[in-house]
Structure formats: C-alpha cells, structure tokens
Structure 1
C-alpha cells in the first residue's frame, strides 16, 4: 500500500484550506475531494496511509493546484479581502503562513516556479486585487535578495519578510538560515530586474499582466540555475 510522507499530508491539508476559501465548500469536504483524487473513498482512509514524520527529513515542499482551483483563486473575494492592497496593509489571516514548510532556498525557488507555471497555464490571465492569488503572490513568492552580511543574502517576499511569512513584526534575517544564499554580485545580476536594480526579481508586479508574469518566471528559473 502506498505511503504518503508527512510533507505530502501537510500539503494536502494546505490545499484543502485553499479550496475551502476559494470555492466556499467546507474544509472536511475539501479534504474528501483531495482523498478522492488520490484514489481513496474519504480523508480518513487516506490518513491511514500516512508515514511517520521521521520518513520525511529531506522532503521538499511543493505547490500543487488544479487549473479550476487556480482560476477560482484568481477571482476577487470582496467579502473576505476587504483591506486595501499595499505594502503597509495589516497581516492577511486568510493566506496560510508557509515559510516553515520550506527545507531550503532552492525549495523556495522551485515552489515559486511551480506556482507561476500553474498560473501561466490558464488561457486567461487576470489576478483580482481582492483575490487569494494576489496575496499569495505577495507573501509566498520571492521578491528580492537582501544582504544579511557583505557575503550572505536572504530571499524575501514583497513585504521584505522570509518567503511565505505574513507578519508586521521585526524579523532578524540572520535567524532564517534556510533562506540564505551566498551569491556573488555577478550572479545576482543575472536574475535581477533591469529597471529596479540588482537583487530585485521583478519591477512591474507579476500579477499585473501575463507579460510581467512570464518575465518573473524567467528570472526565477535563472536564479534556480545560479543556486544549483
């Protein structure tokens, strides 16, 4: 019988939360839907196959979402996202904080690449500024590399927090070693946005148009090659 790892189970649970918010179905029903997709009658049956936590010491956190779920998550949800978009908006409690799921900086970039690829697969590109995807892109995806020391950097999101984190608290970058890089100036330049300068993965936001999303994805892929 197939065994799911601890990270896979956590990923399924995160996806269930996302589906529940995007389609207004109950969380338990969303879990059962995922179980059906994996070949099980319900979530309880799937959970019986979960492996011990210790089996998952080197697993990577991955992004998985169906086209229909992504399309739904890109639509505005005014009844939930009633705050004004922007850098100084209060923490968004409707988007999961996933920073502690990442095992390494390469895992962060791979997750972002998969996320952008999922969006760009859709024939119609439009991200509502009150949508789940808008806030996920601000919080879950890398925006820039900030220097921790003269030779060490950290990958941060649009709010200058470790990727995946949603908080207004002061963050000490040195503590988040799994997000650190040791890149040279020449390496950083290869994936930096030409208009915004060194270290920035995008200038015009990738949620604003397909063109900017594709450019951002190219920068992510270049960063991944540099990290390899």
Structure 2
C-alpha cells in the first residue's frame, strides 16, 4: 500500500479499542490518522487514545462496513469497498463518518 495515498493516511479506517477501554482512530496502515510511516507505533506513546461516548454494539453495527457489532475493532471500510473505489462506496463511507462525527469524546 502506497504511503502517498491521502485516503490511506488521513481518513479513518478503523477504531481499535485499547485495554483501558479508550479507542484509537487508525488509518489504513493501522497508524494513528496522519502518521505516514512504515515504522511500528506504540499507541500509548502518543496522546491519541480517546474515550468515546455511545460506542455500543448497535453503534458499532452502524459504523461497520459489514454491520459487525464487535466493539473491540470497528472497520469503516475494507479493501473491497474503500471510499475512493466508487461513488456508492464513498456515499456509504460518508454515512458511517456522519455517525462517527456525532459521537462525543469523554474528557
């Protein structure tokens, strides 16, 4: 996967729950959004984990590209339906981002 693909670096690919219950929003390379590297990243070394209010099985199902209710890792798209593949895939991705954007961050 190219590191020069804006989507793969800057758009959310998945939400991954951490052992403490907080989430990290990751890009397609499983790096925090905006991290453009092939190097291994220790998430706890950066202030990137957030507690999201409203992540339930029902919310995960709405956010997931395949309606998976798993709250441990929520994939917003996969290689078969990535947002820039087609207008329909982008439309579906943007619907999921709309739901994600309405969640509150617990401080």
TM-score, with length taken from structure 1: 0.39
RMSD over aligned Cα atoms: 2.2
Matched, 1:201 2:72: no
Q: Deviations over 1:4-28 (max 9, x none)?
A: xxxxxxxxxxxxxxxxxxxxxxxxx
Aligned in 2, Cα 1:141/1:171: closer, same or farther, shift over 3 Å? same
Q: Which runs of 5+ in 1 are unaligned?
A: 1-85, 96-134
Higher relative contact order (CA 8 A, sep 6+): 2
Q: How many residues align?
A: 98
SS at match of 1:214: helix
CA drift at 1:214: 0.6
1:33-74 deviations in Å (ceiling 9; x for gaps): xxxxxxxxxxxxxxxxxxxxxxxxxxxxxxxxxxxxxxxxxx
Q: CA deviation at 1:179?
A: 4.8
137-146 or 195-204: bigger deviation? 195-204
2: CA distance between counterparts of 1:164 and 1:175?
Answer: 15
Counterpart in 1 of 2:44?
A: 174
Specify which structure has the higher proportion of strand. Answer: 2
Q: State the TM-score, normalizing by the size of structure 2.
A: 0.76
Is the 2:52–2:103 Cα contact (8 Å) retained in structure 1? Answer: no
Matches within 5 A, 1:134-149: 135-149=5-19
Confirm whether residue 190 of structure 1 aligns to residue 59 of structure 2. no
